[in-house]
Structure 1
C-alpha cells in the first residue's frame, strides 16, 4: 500500500512540477529566453548610448531650491548650483553605464547559448548571430528548421517584437527612461531558437528519461493500489475478512483522546504523509548516485518512515470511521474536547473576577520582567541565544495554563464555601493532581461531608428527641392513667371484695409496669453516659444463654415460637459482667418472643470465630420494619409502631450499650421480615 500510494502521489506531484510541462518550461529555458529578449533589446536591437542619456539630464528649479535648503552655499548663484548638480548627475550616469557592463557579460553568455535572427521593420536591417549557420545551411529558414525549439515573432499572441521602453531587468535610471521615451518605437520580426547543441541535447534526453520514469512510477502505483482494492474486495466477497473483535489498547487510547486533539492529530498526520509522499521513495535525481550503499540506506530509511506514517494515517482513518458509528453524539464528544476543557479552566479562573484578574496581572508582570532580561541573557549566551528563546512560548503557555487552573480551583472552592455558608446543597469539588490546591480541595470535601453528616445527625437527633418525648409520655401516661382510674374506682364504698381485689391486682400490675419503664429509662441513661461499673468475671456464655432461655419460658414452647438453639458442647468463656450480659440475652430473647410472627421458628447460635465469641439471634418479625435498621437501636423505638404491645422500646438500645461497654460489637440486620442480631464478644 505504501509503495502504491507513494507512486501515485509522487508521480502526480512530479507531473505537475516537471514531467507534465513542455521541455523549455520544465527545464527553465523559457525564463532564460525571456531575460535574453530583454538584454537583446537593450544591448543590440535598440541600444541607448551614454550621449543620448546625457542629453536628458535636467536640473529643475525645485531641485536647486532643495539643494540650497540642505547645503550652505549662499555665496553661489543659481546658475553655478545648476551647473554643479548637472555635473554630479553626469558622473552618476557614467558610473551607471559602467555597471551595465556586468549585465552585458550575462547578455554575451546568452548570445553564445541561443540563436536569434531578427529583421527591423521599415529599414530591413538584420540582427543575427547565425553567421556560421548561414554559411553551413545557406539560409536562415534551414537554420531555423534545425533548432530544437523556436520562439517566433510575430506570433499569435504578442505580435512583432516592439522596443519602446527601458527593459524591466535593468536598474531604474530617469535619464534612460526619458531617452527611451523620446526615440521612435522599433519593431522586429524573426525568431529566437534553442540550438541542438550537446548541452541542450543532453538536457533534452534527461527530460525524456525523467518523464518516462515519472509515468512508470505513476502507472506502478495505480496498478498496486488497484490490486490492493481487488484483494480487499475479494476477501469481503469470500467472507475471509477477520472479525473486528474487542477493542485494542491503541483504540482505547484513541477513543479516550479528546475529539479536537484527534482531529488535529489526523490532519497533522495527513499533512506529513502528503509531504513525504510528494517525493518518490527513489527519486529520479538519485538514480545516478555513485555510492550504492548510501543509495540503498537512504531508500530503505525513507521507505520505513513512509510505512510508519502511512500506517498511522490508515489506523487513524479506521478509528475515525468507527467513531462515527458510536452512539455518542458530536455534542457530547465536543463537551469532552480539549478546547472545552481549556474554556472551562478559563471560565473557572474568572468565576471570581478579582482572583482571575489578579492572577493574570501577576503572570504578565513576571513575564514582562523575564522578557526584559532576555536581551542581557542573549548577549551572555551569544550565538546560542536562539536555542534558549525557542522554548519560551511553550514554557509561557504551560505556566499560564497552570496559573489559570489553580485560580479556577480556588474560585470553585470559594463558590462552594459561599453556597455552603448560606445553606445551599454543594457537591464535592473535583480533586485532580497532587498540588496544594488539590490537597485543599480534598480537605474541603472532607469538611463539607463532615458538616453535612453533622447536620443530618443533628436533624435526626432532633427528630428522635421529639419522638422520645412523645413515646416516653405515651408509655408512662398509659399505666399511670390506669392506676389513677382504678384508684378512683376503689374510692367507691359499694364495691365488692372481689371487685376490690381485682382492681388492686390491676393497680399492682400497672405500677410494676411503670416501675419497669422508669428502671429501663434510668438504666439506658446510665449506659449512654458510660457511668456504669462492670463486675467482670469468667463466664461460660453457653450456660448464660441457657439460663436466659429457661427464665423467659422460651424452652417450654408456651410462647408460640419454636426456638432452635445451637450451642457448642465445649465452654465458650468470656470476661464479662454476668448480670449485665444476662440482661443482653434476656432482652434479645424477650424481643423475639414479643415481636416474632406466631408459629414461626427462631434461631439462636453460639460459636467461636477468630478469637471471638459470636452469638446470633434470628427470627421472623410480625411487623414491617422498614429499611433503616439504625432507628431500631434508638431509645423507645419499637417494631410495633402503633405501640400496642408490651415493652419499653429500650431493649435493643440497652443491649447494644452493654455490649459496647464490654468492647464487643452489636450488629443489626433486616432482610425483608427476617430480623437478625449478631453479638461479638472477645474470648477470655
Structure 2
C-alpha cells in the first residue's frame, strides 16, 4: 500500500515539474520579444513613457500659445450663427416655449401671494424673450455671444491644462531634449547654452542611456499633430479648443530627445527601468530552468512502461465514445486554451513575484497543481480522440452522429414546414428581444417608455397567440390519446390555416379511417365466417353423396341396375369435388400471385368467339337470347391466352347459371384509348346485394341458397387473372341488371 502511494506521489511530483517546465517555455515564447532585446528603452513600456513626455512637451512648449492670442484667433462661421439661432426652432416656437416654461411658475407664485417672486420670474422670462428676439435681428449679436462662449471654453482649457504642469516638470527632469521648429527656426531645449560643441558633448553614448533623433530612416520629423491623440481624457473634452490651437501652432520639429544616464536613478522612469532589469533576469532563469525541467520530466513521464504509455481503460473509452465527435474536438480545443491560460497565469505569478512571499508561493504551488491536473486530463482526452481518428470507417459513423449533423437534421425538421419554422423563429426572437429590452430597461429606466407600449401592442398579442396555440395543441393531444384508447370522440374543430389546423384535419381523417377500418374488420370477420361455412357446404355436399352411395354399394344382393346407378352418381360427385378442389387451389395461387403468365400476341375478339363456341350447345338449349357486338377489326393484346380464356369461360358459365330465363344477354367488345373493353350484361334470376365487392370473395355466390352447381370461385379467379395482366374487372349492379366490365391494355 505504501509503495502505491509513493508511486502516486512521485507521479504528481513529475507532473508538477512538467507543468512548471511547460509554463517556462510558454513564457519564453510569449515574452521573449520583450526581454531578449536586452534594452528597456526598446520596450513598449518605455515607448509609452516617451510619448507621454512628447505629449506634455507639445502641450506646454511646442504648441504653447498665449491665452490672449488663442482668444484673438477665434472665428465664427455662418453655419455656427445659424445653428445657434435655430437650435431650439424658429422665433415663435422658442418664444412660446419660454412662456410655457414660466407660466406655471408665475401663477404658483401669485397664488402663494409672492408678488416679488412672480415679478422676478416675469423679468427673467422677458429677458430671455428679448435675447431670443435679438438673435433673429442681428448676426453680430449672435457672433458676440459665440465668441464669449468660446473664450470661456479657452479659459477652462488653460485652467485644466495647468493641472498637468507638475507631471510635465517631472518628465522634463528625466529627459533631455533639443528640438528646432523647421518653419520658424525657433529652438526648444532644456540644456542651457546651445551650440554645436555642447550638442555633441550632450547627446552621445557616454552621457546618454537613450537617444531618439528626428528625423532618421525610421523616424520622421516630430509632429505635434500626432501627439494630440495622447491628451488626457479631461483635456480631450475640449476638442474644439485643441483644434483651434493646432490650426495656429502645429509644426514639424527636428532634433533629439534623450535620457541621461545620471537621470535614471532619480527620474520618473527609475522604477520602471530597474523593474525591467529585475524581470529580465527572472525571465531568463525561469525560461532556462523550465526548459531543463520540461526535458527531464518528459523523459520520466513518457518513457516505456510509464503511466502515460498505458492502455486506456475500456470503461473510460466507452464513456468517452458517448460524446459526439465534434463536441469532443471542441472540448479538446477548450482544454488546450484552458491549459494555455493556466500556463500564462503560472508564468505571470512567477515573473511578477511580489513582496508577500508566502501568499505568492502558495498561489504558484496551487496553480501548478491545477495546471498539472488539467494537462493530464488534456493528454488522455487527446489520446482517446487520436485513437478515434485512426479508423476511417468508424470516423464516418461518428461524424453521422455528431452534434452538428444532428442539429442540422433537427433544424431541417423544424423547417420541414417553412411556415411553422419561420413562426417559431419569429416568436423566439420576439421573446429574446423583450427579455433583452427588459434587462436594458432595468439598467436604463428611460427605456421602460419603449418597453411598455411594445409589450402592450406586441408582447401581449404574442402571449395570447401562444396560449391559444398551446391550448389547441393540448386539445389535439387529448383527442389522439382517446383514439389510442379506442374512444372515437367528435371531430376536432379546424381553426384557421395553421399547421395545427392541418394536423387536426389529418387526425379527423385518421379517425374516420379508424371507423372505416373497424367496419372493414367486422366485414372481414363476417366474410371469413361465410367463407368457412360456404367451403364446408360446397365440399361436404358431394362428399356426403359419395360416402352415402359407397355404403349403398356394400348392400348384399344389390341389383346390377342399382349398382350402375350408384356408381354413376359417385363418379359425378367425385368429378364435382375435383372441380371444387381445383378451383380452390387455383384461386389460392391467384391470390398469392404465385403463378406464371405465358404472354403472347392474341386476338381478343377471336378468343371470345372461341369461348362462346365452347358453350354453343348449352346456349342453344337455354331460353336465353345472346346479342354479341364485335369490332370489324381484330383487337390484339399481349396476354396469356389460356388464362384469359378461363376468364371468359367463368363469366359465360355464370351467365348461363344465374341469368333469368327468357331474357337477353349482351356481350360487346370495343376499343377506347389503347384499351380493350369487354362488357357482359344480363338479368339475374336471384336478388343481388348492392355491395358488388362481396361477389369477388371466394365461395360467394349470387345463389344464396347454393342450389346451383357453381363453386363461388369463378369471379374471384377471373378478377385475379385480369389483375395479373395489369387490367381491371369491375361489376355494376342496377336492380337485377348484372354488368361485368373487363378492361385490358392493347398494343
**TM-score for both structures, normalised by structure 1:** 0.51
Q: Where do residues 381-396 of structure 1 align in structure 2 (5 Å cutoff)?
A: none
Q: CA deviation at 1:273?
A: 1.2
Q: 2:327 aligns with which of 247, 261, 264?
A: 261
CA contact (8 A) 2:63 2:249 kept: no
Q: Which residue of 1 aligns with 2:26?
A: 9
Distance change >3 Å, CA 322–CA 74, structure 1 → 2: closer
Task: Return 5+ residue gaps in structure 2 as ranges.
Answer: 1-17, 88-131, 446-465, 487-512, 571-747
Q: Which residue of 2 aligns with 1:206?
A: 275
Q: Which residue of 2 aligns with 1:385?
A: none
Q: Which residue of 1 aligns with 2:214?
A: 153
Q: 1:216 aligns with which of 254, 262, 285?
A: 285
Identify which range, 193-202 or 320-329, moves more after superposition.
193-202
Q: Does 1:188 align with 2:254?
A: yes
Q: Partner of 1:190: helix, strand, or coil?
A: strand
Q: Does 1:332 align with 2:397?
A: yes
Provide the rounded CA distance (Å) in 2 between the counterparts of 1:314 and 1:129. Answer: 61
Q: Where do residues 663-674 of structure 1 align in structure 2 (5 Å cutoff)?
A: none
Q: Where do residues 272-671 of structure 1 align in structure 2 (5 Å cutoff)?
A: 272-280=338-346, 283-292=349-358, 294-326=359-391, 328-345=393-410, 470=535, 477-478=542-543, 480-487=545-552, 494=559
Provide the rounded CA distance (Å) in 2 between the counterparts of 1:96 and 1:304. Answer: 55
Provide the rounded CA distance (Å) in 1 between the counterparts of 2:433 and 2:216. Answer: 65
Q: Which residue of 2 aligns with 1:30?
A: 47
Q: Partner of 2:258: helix, strand, or coil?
A: strand
Q: Kindly indicate which of the two structures has a greater share of residues assigned to helix.
A: 2
Per-residue CA shift, 1:7-47, capped at 9, x if unaligned? 22233223256555841343612112122223324422453
Q: Which residue of 2 aligns with 1:423?
A: none
Per-residue CA shift, 1:53-91, capped at 9, x if unaligned? 233222334444444445321685444443443344333
Provide the rounded CA distance (Å) in 1 between the counterparts of 2:185 and 2:330. Answer: 68
Q: CA deviation at 1:231?
A: 5.1
Q: Partner of 1:256: helix, strand, or coil?
A: coil
Q: CA deviation at 1:109?
A: 2.1
Provide the rounded CA distance (Å) in 1 between the counterparts of 2:434 and 2:220. Answer: 67
Tell me the C-alpha RMSD between the 2 structures. 5.5
Distance change >3 Å, CA 376–CA 5, structure 1 → 2: closer
**TM-score for both structures, normalised by structure 2:** 0.47
CA contact (8 A) 2:179 2:188 kept: yes
Distance change >3 Å, CA 204–CA 407, structure 1 → 2: farther
Distance change >3 Å, CA 487–CA 353, structure 1 → 2: farther
Q: Partner of 1:73: helix, strand, or coil?
A: helix
Task: Return 5+ residue gaps in structure 1 as ranges.
Answer: 381-399, 421-447, 508-684
Q: CA deviation at 1:314?
A: 1.0
CA contact (8 A) 2:70 2:245 kept: yes
Q: Does 1:247 align with 2:308?
A: no
Q: CA deviation at 1:210?
A: 1.9
Provide the rounded CA distance (Å) in 1 between the counterparts of 2:374 and 2:312. Answer: 25
Distance change >3 Å, CA 261–CA 495, structure 1 → 2: same
Distance change >3 Å, CA 165–CA 14, structure 1 → 2: closer
Provide the rounded CA distance (Å) in 2 between the counterparts of 1:470 and 1:209. Answer: 111
Q: Partner of 2:345: helix, strand, or coil?
A: coil
Q: Partner of 1:318: helix, strand, or coil?
A: helix
Provide the rounded CA distance (Å) in 1 between the counterparts of 2:201 and 2:367. Answer: 52
Q: Partner of 1:58: helix, strand, or coil?
A: coil
Q: Does 1:109 align with 2:178?
A: no
CA contact (8 A) 1:349 1:407 kept: no
Provide the rounded CA distance (Å) in 2 between the counterparts of 1:479 and 1:68. Answer: 126
Q: Partner of 1:72: helix, strand, or coil?
A: helix
CA contact (8 A) 1:151 1:193 kept: no
Distance change >3 Å, CA 243–CA 470, structure 1 → 2: farther
Per-residue CA shift, 1:453-490, capped at 9, x if unaligned? 99999989987985786578657854641431452685
Identify which range, 15-24 or 104-113, moves more after superposition.
15-24
Provide the rounded CA distance (Å) in 2 between the counterparts of 1:377 and 1:184. Answer: 47
Provide the rounded CA distance (Å) in 2 between the counterparts of 1:328 and 1:246. Answer: 22
Q: Which residue of 2 aligns with 1:235?
A: 304
Q: Partner of 1:193: helix, strand, or coil?
A: strand
Provide the rounded CA distance (Å) in 1 between the counterparts of 2:540 and 2:404. Answer: 67
Provide the rounded CA distance (Å) in 2 between the counterparts of 1:154 and 1:206. Answer: 31
Provide the rounded CA distance (Å) in 2 between the counterparts of 1:453 and 1:228. Answer: 78
Q: CA deviation at 1:306?
A: 0.7
Q: CA deviation at 1:318?
A: 0.7
Provide the rounded CA distance (Å) in 2 between the counterparts of 1:258 and 1:184. Answer: 63
CA contact (8 A) 2:177 2:256 kept: yes
CA contact (8 A) 1:4 1:220 kept: yes
Provide the rounded CA distance (Å) in 1 between the counterparts of 2:529 and 2:34. Answer: 90
Distance change >3 Å, CA 21–CA 331, structure 1 → 2: farther
Q: CA deviation at 1:305?
A: 1.3
CA contact (8 A) 2:179 2:253 kept: no
